[in-house]
Structure 1
């Protein structure tokens, strides 16, 4: 093996290592948003909270995430990507401790809001950092690490909830040291939150941030570990694209004639559509969903865990193909698959007979078809819109506007997530599951045309050429 090949391998290993550390933010993002799944019913009992307050306890964290995402870019541009990760890690830790010791619903909502700020920050910083530290031939796969970390986080949170609830008997029963099981569910987040902070302190700052700050010797040092060889030409290239006398501002996202730059609208569009196809309904409400169509509580929890596993497998598929096939073909295939599977589910739920409580009942083969179709839908989302959205958001903006544009796009994603999550229970109550899935089918169909007309392929391009 030549020394060049050895060096290239060690460079690749180093990049994977630092991208993995940054993607821990994605793991916590998934874990934090899903961990409440198993605690919802116990919470409302423990705090005697009505359905409105319980709904706020679940969804207000998402507005905290929108706020965290909006300001994270500014913080990351002023103080660096690494310091922003450390702040997010501290917020995750405090939120996990506070949520577990909460005395009432209002202080619980406060702790969840803090966690939401951290989730929003992590959702912006990780893809920006990974994109800025990855060689162009690996950037798609490394960018997909963010989504892989999110879905693994969701899966591990659901598993922790499942095992704690089963060991204690229920989420309300006492668990270790006689403390209620649901409190332990939140405390399981403390170790990964602390690990994230420790990992962030051990990775280098983004070379593009260092060049923007005039710290070029440090940038050269980092780049030599990432790409090897002569890095001076690369530094000059970065310098040309980040040349500015002031910090980036949100006004950079505006055209001279007023209004946002077209590329920012594309970023917002892809963020909104990723949520409007209803994926988080499957993850936040799946056990409620399967119980509504006649599955037992234990079976519903098992199905939820299986769906989480399907999501992980399909994200691995995306990582394998995103740099081979490109971003656009995967999004087109995903949109077609989601439109068909969501349409099938809308049809099944819309035509199913209702029981006395007004819930659709799926008998015999229709129940199996619904279950298979739901997992096929997760599969179609998992290899396309799930990871590819984050890859594109990390790389589609030029160096000058990346952090600010990513902040706006990610904040809109959280607002859309909030809208979809809070509108699902009333849609379910007043219009039924068929109508809910009909709306998500429409969004999936729109997503296909959006990709065809507005998304440009970024495979293999250098960030400096965006």
Structure 2
């Protein structure tokens, strides 16, 4: 392929794989618009409502636990197909559910799809991307998540505002007018179906193919991505490190892989302890008390979603030129400052645009550092034979951390107050700053094989 065709091929495959991130964001955010109507229609108690919202996390954990090792054994592409099927079945099934039990079942299936996609999509992208573009292309996955969240908010808002005047005749009238929440969830079947169909044209990961001795296929794919000369050099490096069979958890627990796993898991947990989900999901509730938002929570969510998407482009722009380490260190420190400013606004009774500005600044700093870079780092630092399993451990850490934040935030908010809670979030970002400064090493411009071979040594020993 000519250079421009190689770039087109690489970007096309990346965007298709990133649809897993889009569906991840859409499925997790769409529920924000359906909680109240589902609760009303099915007469849910407080405990039933809590289980309805949180059961997707159980699915996420299940999806993460089996997908990493499975992808190491049967391939990345097949597991991505599985994620697409889970998204498609859950979206259609949820929209046609007639009982609380069915809702829970399909919600868990959706969570499994999210868990699989959150694990395998960035892994697949990292294994296809050329070294000089890998950070940027993996960051596309985080961008797709933010776009998925934004599209879910916009879709919910559109359906909510147009349902009142819609006809209730026929199937579509029943879905979009009589029971608005069904239409909100069914919209997700469209990108899920597109994801399934488009996966038929993407190749398998060349590094996974080489791991199982399918070198000719791997070389052909690498040639389409990097050209014949670069492909042959990469193939030589890949085959030199692809003799080991797929590894498991026990191998990850032995040095030096254990040290890398600890670093990636700590950075992942701290990124979620920044309180990003509290800002995204509880933001409307928080800011209503400040006078910024009078009544329309969905409209406010669209504003936050748009800002989060826009700011992620900074990471795409700079991650391969400035590097992972500088962005992570600067972003975590600035996030700590922005969260401390937000806490101070609550403490001092500052409302209106001052409050909104401090939260928007946090979203800006998070979107180019703590948000996307945890995926970039976790997909780069492990060798091929354990990469799927290692990434699944990091993503599991992300989901458990999310669960803790979502569980504890309402209690902290009502117990010690919003200001003190945001100071805690700020402290977590500050810890992330010092931890990354000490342990995080730079990987920009290096192939996955150069990183895995031990040529890249941590900056702080």
Q: Give me the whole-angstrom Cα distance separating, in 2, the residues matched to 1:457 and 1:260.
A: 17
- 1:344 corresponding residue in structure 2: 341
Give TM-score, length-normalised by structure 2. Answer: 0.92
Alpha-carbon offset, residue 285 of structure 1 = 2.3
What is the CA deviation profile of residues 92-125 of structure 1, one whole-angstrom value per residue up to 9, with x for unaligned ones? 1111122222233333122111111111111111
What's 1:217 paired with?
216
Contact 2:25 2:147 in 1 (8 A): yes
Alignment of 1:45-56 (within 5 A): 45-56=40-51
Alignment of 1:177 onto 2:176: no
Indicate yes or no: 2:10 matched with 1:25.
Answer: no
Measured in 2, the distance between the counterparts of 1:260 and 1:240 equals 18
Q: Which runs of 5+ in 2 are unaligned?
A: 452-461
Whether the 8 Å contact between 1:249 and 1:404 is mirrored in structure 2 is yes
- Report the counterpart of residue 74 of structure 2 in structure 1: 79
In 1, distance between residues paired with 2:289 and 2:50? Answer: 18
2:251 equivalent to 1:252: yes
Matched, 1:302 2:299: yes
Question: For the structure 1 residues 53 and 349, does the alpha-carbon distance in structure 2 shift closer, same or farther, using more than 3 Å as the test?
Answer: farther
The equivalences for 1:60-139 within 5 A come to 60-139=55-134
After superposition, the Cα gap between the structure-2 partners of 1:124 and 1:428, relative to the gap in structure 1 and judged at 3 Å, is same
Per-residue deviation, 1:236 = 2.5
Partner deviation per Cα, 1:422-445 (whole Å, 9 max, x = no partner): 222222233322232122111111
SS of the residue corresponding to residue 401 of structure 1 reads: helix
Partner of residue 354 from structure 2, selected from 344, 361, 369: 369
Listed one character per residue, the Cα deviations across residues 196-246 of structure 1 (whole Å, up to 9, x for unaligned) are 1111111000000111111111111111101112333422311121212x3
Residue 308 of structure 2 is matched in structure 1 by: 311
Contact 1:127 1:393 in 2 (8 A): no
Counterpart contact for 2:156–2:298, Cα < 8 Å: no
1:435 is the counterpart of 2:420: yes
Q: Scaled by the length of structure 1, what TM-score is found?
A: 0.91
Q: Any conservation in 2 of the 1:31–1:157 contact (CA below 8 Å)? A: yes
In the superposition, relative to structure 1, how do residues 422 and 368 fare at CA in structure 2: closer, same or farther (>3 Å)? same
Distance 2:347 2:41 in 1: 35
CA deviation after TM superposition for structure 1 residue 252, in Å? 1.6
Question: How far has the Cα of 1:351 moved from its partner?
Answer: 4.2
* 8 Å CA contact 2:328, 2:369 repeated in 1: yes
Match of 1:359 in 2: none
Alignment equivalent of 1:265, drawn from 256, 262, 266: 262
Deviation at 1:71, TM superposition (A): 1.6
After superposition, what is the alpha-carbon deviation per residue over 1:352-384, rounded to whole angstroms, capped at 9, x for unaligned? 3xxxxxxxxx6xxx2221111111111110111
Shift of 1:169: 4.0
Q: In the aligned structure 2, how far is the partner of 1:340 from the partner of 1:74?
A: 39
Structure 2 match to 1:358: none
Compute the displacement of 1:274 (Å).
1.3
The change in CA–CA distance for 1:68 and 1:14 in structure 2 (over 3 A counts) is same
2:257 and 2:382 in contact (8 A); partners too: no
Counterpart CA distance in 1 for 2:416 and 2:95 is 36
Note the alpha carbon deviations across 1:277-296, whole angstroms, 9 max, x for none.
Answer: 01011222222332344455
In structure 2, C-alpha distance between the alignment counterparts of 1:332 and 1:247, rounded to whole Å:
33
Is this contact kept in 2: 1:55–1:422, CA < 8 A? no
Question: How many Å separate the matches in 2 of 1:325 and 1:446?
Answer: 22
Q: Which residue of 1 aligns with 2:389?
A: 404
Deviation per CA, 1:303-352: give whole Å up to 9, x if none: 22111111111111110100110011111111121111111111222343
130-139 or 297-306, larger mean C-alpha shift: 297-306
Superposed structure 1 runs of 4+ greater than 6 Å apart: none
Which residue of structure 2 lines up, in the alignment, with residue 393 of structure 1?
378
The alignment covers a number of residue pairs equal to 445
- Residues 106 and 419 of structure 1: CA distance in aligned 2, closer, same or farther (over 3 Å): farther
SS of residue matched to 1:19: helix
- Aligned-pair distance for 1:297? 5.5
Corresponding residue for 1:325? Answer: 322
Shift, 1:298, TM fit? 4.4
Query: CA 1:170 to 1:432, structure 2 compared with 1: closer, same or farther past 3 Å?
Result: farther
**CA-atom RMSD in angstroms:** 2.1
Cα distance, 1:78 vs. partner?
A: 1.4
1:170, CA displacement in angstroms? 11
Distance 1:63 1:170 in 2: 37
How far apart are the structure 2 equivalents of 1:285 and 1:112? 21
